[in-house]
Amino acid sequence: MKPIAILKAVAFAAALGPAAALVYGFYTQDLTANPGDYITDQTGWWALAFLVISLSVTPLRRLTKWNELIRLRRMLGLFSFFYATLHMLTWVVFIHFFDVKFMLADVAEKPFITVGMATFLILLALALTSNRFAVRKLGRRWQKLHRLVYIAAVGGVIHFWWQVKADITEPRRWAVGVAILLGFRLWWNWRSRVSVAVQRRREPV
Partner 1 sequence: MVIKKASDVRSSEITPKGVYLRRREFLQASAVAMAAAGFGAWAGVGEAQTTRTKLKGPIKKSSFSTTEKVNLYEHVTGYNNFYEFGTGKDEPKVNARNFKTTPWTLEVEGEVAKPAKYALEDFIKPYALEERIYRMRCVEAWSMVIPWVGIPLKDVIDRVQPTGKAQFVEFLTLHDVARMPMQRTGVLDWPYIEGLRLDEARHPLALLAVGIYDEVLPPQNGAPIRLVVPWKYGFKGGKSIVKMRFVEKQPRNTWQVMQASEYGFYANVNPNVDHPRWSQARERRLPDLLATTRTQMFNGYAEVASLYSGMDLRKNY
Measured from the CB atom, the residue of 26 and 187 that comes closer to partner 1 is: 26
- In the complex, minimum distance from the CB of residue 94 to partner 1, in angstroms, rounded to a whole number: 5
136 alpha carbon, distance to own chain's centre: 23
Sign of CA dihedral 144, 149, 154, 159: positive
Which one, 13 or 108, has the nearer CB to partner 1? 108
Residue 29: how many other CB atoms lie within 10 Å: 8
Return the number of the residue (79 or 83) whose C-beta is nearest partner 1. 83
Distance of CA 97 to the CA centre of its chain: 26
Q: Which residues bind partner 1 (CB under 8 A)?
A: 29, 32-37, 39, 93-97, 102, 105-106, 109-112, 162-163, 165-167, 169
Q: CB-wise, 29 or 199, nearer to partner 1?
A: 29
Instruction: Give the count of beta carbons closer than 10 Å to the beta carbon of residue 149.
Output: 18
Cβ at position 166, least distance to partner 1 in Å: 5
In the complex, minimum distance from the CB of residue 26 to partner 1, in angstroms, rounded to a whole number: 9
Q: How far is the CB of 95 from partner 1 (least distance, A)?
A: 5
As a residue count, the chain comes to 205
Cα dihedral 180, 186, 190, 193, rounded to 10, equals 130
